[in-house]
Amino acid sequence: MPKNERSDEIRRVIKKIKNYTNMNDEYHRPQRTIVDLMDEEEESKRKNDFTQWNIVGDGSYIAAPKTQKILFPGLYEPHYNNRASEWGLMKQDVNTDELYELPTKEIELILTDLKSFWDKKEEYAKYKLMHKRGILLYGDPGCGKSGILQLCMKHIIKELSGIVINVKDEDTVRGYLEVIGKLRQIEPDRPIIVIIEDIDGIAAEGSYVTSQLLNMLDGIKQIENVVYIATTNYPEKLAERITNRPSRFDRRYYIAPPSDEVRMSYLKNKLGSEAKIDFSVWVKDTEGMSISHLKELFISVFLLDNKYEDALKHLKDLKKTPRSKNQKGVGFNTTTSSN
């Protein structure tokens, strides 16, 4: 083979080898996943969110994102931030549904108790008492406990520019204990309400989180200027060390089914006093029903255009325990006969 042709052949072989190598590298190169793309997007955001310097313990300076001196008044939940690897607080939307002060003695007593508590901070200090309070609301489902919580939120947020922290499960109990000390370092005098709805679902006897919850209520971290408000539909499920310890829950309020006066007030607030219905009939027909029942009656009749009589019958039927039509057997326990 002539020298020139041999050189051309060598170049073609080398080119093929390079092309094969590139293809092989591309084949074995890790493919970018959606997680990789999200990480890249997060990294891109991260490059633009530093606004100042944070001075750490050894005197060095670390780039820090935007900060603010105090929390905005509102509702918060403990939230674990994976990026910072620590617990913080996440602001929540406040649900103002049913935010109406019904004419009940319990609501009046609770709000009066709260207002008096905030005003007596100096007296607590004078007698060397921790400025904290605990309130337990109990009663049948749907009778207005959540509505009372919302009124308490409105009181502290609107009147005192305070904050509300919602503790709803084991994780948020732990998160609260992690973050509350830092909150008090930054805002030592900020009024705080901690709400614990359905506390019986958290405080199971013998569980580790129950001990944490009791430590929280006992003020083991010396947190002051705070009110703990818990609710339960089943107070009998709570241990006596929770229900019968004034240092944990100083006051207990039974939230009874709404009276005639309360049902009348609720209906007029929803419908307006000029509504073309006989309020006295509605009040009489809903004897023994909860606020939740009244709300459903209103929705069914005025929003979904159901007949009043049908909607009322449906609500009364809800009190009956639902049962299968076939009571002879359940699942695989049924027997069949063959002819």
pLDDT at site 230: 94
Q: Is the pLDDT of residue 217 over 70?
A: yes
Q: Are 148 and 255 in contact (CB under 8 A)?
A: yes
The token pair at 319 is 């009190």
257: number of Cβ within 10 Å = 18
pLDDT tens, residue by residue, 8-54: 666 676 666 666 555 555 444 555 555 555 555 555 555 557 788 87
pLDDT at site 223: 85
pLDDT at site 191: 95
pLDDT at site 36: 57
**Percent of the chain beyond pLDDT 70?**
77
Instruction: Give the helix, strand, coil percentages of the chain, each rounded to 5.
Output: 45, 15, 35
253: number of Cβ within 10 Å = 22
Q: Are 255 and 292 in contact (CB under 8 A)?
A: no
Tell me the mean pLDDT in the region 264-275: 84
Q: What phi, psi does 254 have (nearest 5°)?
A: -85, 120
pLDDT at site 213: 86
pLDDT at site 270: 86
91: number of Cβ within 10 Å = 13
Pairing of strands 74-81, 86-92: antiparallel
Quickly tell me which residue has 């939307």 as its tokens: 93
Q: Is the pLDDT of residue 339 over 60?
A: no
pLDDT at site 332: 46
pLDDT tens, residue by residue, 90-146: 999 876 545 677 788 888 899 999 999 999 999 999 999 999 999 999 998 888 898
Give the three-class secondary structure for 65: strand
User: According to CATH, where is 3.40.50.300 located in the chain?
Assistant: 105-254
Q: Are 179 and 88 in contact (CB under 8 A)?
A: yes
Between 53 and 321, name the one with better pLDDT.
53
Q: Domain 105-254 class?
A: alpha beta
